Amino acid sequence: MSAGTPWRIASVRAALQAKQISARELAAEFYGRIYKRNAELNAYLTLSPERAYAQADRIDAAVARGETLPPLAGVPMAIKDVISTRGVRTTCASKMLEDYIPPYDATAVERLERAGAVLLGKTNCDEFAMGGSNENSAYGPVRNPVALDRVPGGSSGGSAAAVAAGLAVAALGTDTGGSIRQPGSFCGIPGLMPTYGRVSRYGLVAFASSLDKIGPFATNVADAAAVLSVIAGHDENDSTSAAVPVPDYIGETEKSVKGLRIGVPEDYFGAGLDPEVKEKVQSGIALLEKLGCRRVPLQMPHTDYAIAAYYIIATAEASSNLARYDGVRYGLRVPGGTLTEMYRQTRERGFGPEVKRRIMLGTYALSAGYYDAYYLRAQSVRALIARDFADAFQKVDAIVTPTSPIPPFRLGEKALDPLQMYLADIYTVTGSLAGVPGISVPCGKTKAGLPVGLQVFVPHFKEGCVLQIAHAFEQAGGSTI
C-alpha cells in the first residue's frame, strides 16, 4: 500500500493475511510517520515501541502458523494518556504524573491487546481531561492536522489528531462532557461516546465518575464499531460497567436507516450557532431524510441549563477525585516541613491553571452552606435534562444536532476566558448528563475548509442504532456535503 493511503481495520487484516506486509513492518511504517509529523502536531506524549513490536511479532507468528487472526490483529492504535498502560508512562498531560508508570493495564487496553491491536503510544490531551481545546496540556498544545493554526478540540485532542493525520488507524479517547465528540468534529473524523457503563473504566484515571466514558476514534464508522465491539461489556473490576449483552456492532452498521424517526430539537439551532455550521448540519439532516429517515421537530426545554448543571457536577466530582494527588503514594512530591505544607506545595506545583480552577469551583460547590444551592440543585436539573431525553425517545429513534456551535478556533483565541470556553460545550454536555450514547460524524467543511460535525444521540445501550445512522450518513457522502 502506497504512502498516504489510509489504512483501515479491514485493509490491515487483508494485507496481513495475504502476507503483503507484516505487523512489524506496519508498526514501523506508523512509527516512521510519527517521527516525521509529531514534532509539529504534538499528538503523542510517549511512544511504546518495545511493547508494540513485541505484540506485532506475536501477530506475525500467528500469521505464519496460519491461525485465524483476532479482530484487531496488527491494527496500530493510540491510547489517550489518561488510560493506564502497564509499564508505559501515563501522565494525564499533567506535571503531577510526569514520571508515573502504572503497575497495571486498563481493562479497555487489555481487551484491545487481546484482540490483536498494536499499541503505538500515549496521546496528548487536556490535563486530566479538563478542557475543550487541548491547550491545557502541561506538555504543550496539539495542532489540528486539518488546519495547523487551529486547535484539534479537547480534551482527547491528541487521539483525534493522531487518527486524522494517519499516525494511528484508530485510538481510544475519553468523553466526560464532549471530549471525544468535539475533537472528532474538529479533526473531521468519527468519534463515539458509548452509553455510561457500556465500556469498563477500570484503569481510567477518574475526572468525574458519574460522567466519564471511554470510546473510540477511527477514520470511518465501521472501524469505530469494530473497536467498540472489542472494548464493550461487563468487567468485574468496574461495578459501574453494565451487565448488558454486547451485540454485533459491525453488523448493525449495515442496516438500512429507512423509516427511522430522527428528532431535530429547535433548542440546538438558536443563538450562538455559527451560520456556516448551521447550514452544513441542516444539509446533513436533509441527507438523512433523503435516505428515508423521517424528520420530527422536538423541544428539549432544559437544554439551556445544561452547561450550568454540568460545570457544578463535573467540578464537584473532580475536586473529590483529584484529592488523591497529595504527594504521598505516587506522582509528584514537593517536600514540606509538615504534611499539610507538603500537600499544598505538591498540588500548587503539580496542577495547571484549569485543573486548579475546577478544583476550586468544585470544592466551593460542595462546601458547607453551598451544597444544597449548587450541587443538589445541579443534580435536580440533571434529572430534568435526562427526562427531556427520555420524553424525546418516546417520539423518535435518534436525535440529530450540531456537535459544536463553532468550527475549530485558533490556538490561543479562547484561552483567556474560561466561561466562553465552557459555553462552547452546550450541545455535547446534555447527552453526557443523560448518560446516553452519541457520535460525531463528519458533515462537510466550512468555506475556509474547517470540519463540521453532525452529532447523533440514541437511547441507552442503542449504540448499534447510532452507528447505523452514522454509517449510512458517511456512505451517502456526508463528509463532503
Subset of residues 301 to 340 that bind other proteins, contact rule: CB under 8 A? 302, 304-305, 307-309, 311-312, 319, 323, 326-333, 335-340
Of 133, 179, 229, 432, the active-site residue reads 179
Cβ of residue 89: shortest distance to other proteins, in angstroms?
12
Cβ of residue 367: shortest distance to other proteins, in angstroms?
6
- Please identify, among the stretches 43-51, 133-141, 159-167, 234-242, the one whose residues bind other proteins according to the rule CB under 8 A: 234-242
C-alpha cell at 441: 460524524
Q: How many residues bind other proteins (CB under 8 A)?
A: 71
Catalytic residue flag (residue 155): yes
Nearer to other proteins by Cβ, of 286 and 339: the residue is 339
Q: Does 214 bind other proteins (CB under 8 A)?
A: no
Q: Does 101 bind other proteins (CB under 8 A)?
A: yes
Of 22, 84, 155, 440, the active-site residue reads 155
Cβ of residue 265: shortest distance to other proteins, in angstroms?
18
The answer to whether 241 touches 370, Cβ cutoff 8 Å, is: no
**DSSP track, 75-95:** -EEEEETTB-BTTB---TTSG
Q: Does 460 bind other proteins (CB under 8 A)?
A: yes
Cβ of residue 192: shortest distance to other proteins, in angstroms?
18
The answer to whether 192 touches 215, Cβ cutoff 8 Å, is: yes
Q: Does 53 bind other proteins (CB under 8 A)?
A: no
Catalytic residue flag (residue 80): yes
Q: Which burial class, exposed, middle or buried, applies to 384 when counting CB atoms under 10 A from its CB (0-12, 13-18, 19+)? A: middle
What residues from 348 to 377 belong to the interface with other proteins (CB under 8 A)? 348, 351, 353, 356-357, 359-361, 363-364, 367, 374, 376-377
Q: Which one among 3, 18, 39, 243 touches other proteins, defined by CB under 8 A?
A: 243
Cβ of residue 397: shortest distance to other proteins, in angstroms?
20
Torsion of CA 121, 126, 128, 130, to 10 degrees: -150
Cβ of residue 481: shortest distance to other proteins, in angstroms?
33
Residues 6+ apart with CB under 8 A from 175: 156, 181, 191, 193, 212, 213, 215, 428, 432
Q: Which residues pair with 216 in a beta bridge?
A: 172
Rounded to the nearest 5 degrees, what angle is found at the Cα of 132, between the Cα atoms of 131 and 136? 45
What residues from 187 to 206 belong to the interface with other proteins (CB under 8 A)? 196-197
Please report which helix (H) or strand (E) contains residue 36, including its range.
helix 23-41
Residue found by looking up cell 451560520 in the block: 275
User: Which pairing describes strands 398-402 and 451-457: parallel, antiparallel, or unpaired?
Assistant: antiparallel
Rounded to the nearest 5 degrees, what angle is found at the Cα of 106, between the Cα atoms of 204 and 31? 100
Nearer to other proteins by Cβ, of 65 and 329: the residue is 329
Cβ of residue 369: shortest distance to other proteins, in angstroms?
11
The three-class DSSP label of residue 139 is coil
Q: Which one among 58, 89, 294, 344 touches other proteins, defined by CB under 8 A?
A: 344
The answer to whether 304 touches 267, Cβ cutoff 8 Å, is: yes
CA–CA separation, 91 vs 393, rounded Å? 39
Q: Does 414 bind other proteins (CB under 8 A)?
A: no
Catalytic residue flag (residue 179): yes
Q: Does 471 bind other proteins (CB under 8 A)?
A: no
Q: What binding mask, one character per residue, do residues 56-95 give for other proteins by CB under 8 A, x or -?
A: ----------------------------------------
C-alpha cell at 388: 427531556
CA–CA separation, 144 vs 151, rounded Å? 5
Enzyme catalytic residues: 80, 155, 179
